[in-house]
């Protein structure tokens, strides 16, 4: 069998064939994993809402709505918790870009008086063993039952009530920023009469 000459046409045809096969394979795998990934993300979100909310009998995922961040940043998603049609509280998916290693996302639950019911860390990329300790109950527990409108939820170095994580003050400040963002955005939304 004779060896084909290496021409621009043959090389282009080979490259286009490989590209088409690779693209089709990637598209197929994306479609194959799209539904399971979405279901896993919804289950993670539902778990976080349950962990931080007051008791409810509605469907917070279905009843969710977005509000503007009080400072004009990315919008926040609210998951209302109601029993018998009466609002009992809200879980807020909040964020901050002030983390040591980038964005930190939290789910913060408030009762109808604005007191913190619970907090769950949705995403963080902080330094393992330092800032990543924001996921531990020893740190998160400091926020339970506190009202950001009445309590100064910032680290003690900044005159607040929160003990920073040792050697991770930036991460601690970021966590406080995300919690305060949730509270202030919900209050601004309520005051706007929406």
Reported as a single tens digit per residue, the pLDDT across 12-57 is 999 999 999 999 999 999 999 999 998 998 899 999 999 999 999 9
- Place 83 in a pLDDT band, splitting at 50, 70 and 90: very high
d(CA 132, CA 173): 13
Phi–psi pair at 83, nearest 5 degrees: -125, 130
Q: Write down the residue that tokens 């531990």 correspond to.
A: 136
Q: Which residues contact 48 (CB under 8 A, 6 or more apart)?
A: 91, 107, 120, 122
Three-state DSSP state, 174:
helix
pLDDT of residue 1: 58
d(CA 154, CA 158): 6
- pTM summary value: 0.81
Measured at the alpha carbon of residue 163, what is the angle toward residues 157 and 166, in degrees to the nearest 5? 90
Chain centre distance of CA 124: 9
Q: Mean pLDDT in the chain? A: 93
3-state helix, strand, coil in the chain (%, to 5): 45, 25, 35
End-to-end Cα spacing for the chain = 77
For the chain, give the number of residues: 194
- Place 2 in a pLDDT band, splitting at 50, 70 and 90: low
> How many CA atoms, within 13 angstroms, populate the side-chain half-sphere of residue 161?
13
Q: Which residues contact 46 (CB under 8 A, 6 or more apart)?
A: 61
> What are the pLDDT digits (tens) for 115-172?
999 999 999 999 999 999 999 999 999 999 999 999 999 999 999 999 999 999 999 9
């Amino acid at each position: 069998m004779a060896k084909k000459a290496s021409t621009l046409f043959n090389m282009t045809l080979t490259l286009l064939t490989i590209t088409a096969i690779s693209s089709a394979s990637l598209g197929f795998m994306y479609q194959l994993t799209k539904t399971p990934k979405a279901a896993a993300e919804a289950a993670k979100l539902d778990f976080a809402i349950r962990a931080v909310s007051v008791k409810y009998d509605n469907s917070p995922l279905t009843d969710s709505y977005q509000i503007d961040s009080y400072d004009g940043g990315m919008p926040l998603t609210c998951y209302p918790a109601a029993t018998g049609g009466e609002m009992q509280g809200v879980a807020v998916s909040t964020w901050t870009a002030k983390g040591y290693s980038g964005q930190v996302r939290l789910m913060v639950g408030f009762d109808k008086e604005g007191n913190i019911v619970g907090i769950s860390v949705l995403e963080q990329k902080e330094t393992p063993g330092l800032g990543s300790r924001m996921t531990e109950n020893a740190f998160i527990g400091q926020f339970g039952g506190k009202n950001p409108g009445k309590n100064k939820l910032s680290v003690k170095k900044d005159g607040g009530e929160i003990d920073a994580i040792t050697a991770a003050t930036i991460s601690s400040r970021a966590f406080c920023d995300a919690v305060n963002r949730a509270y202030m955005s919900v209050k601004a939304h309520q005051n706007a009469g929406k």
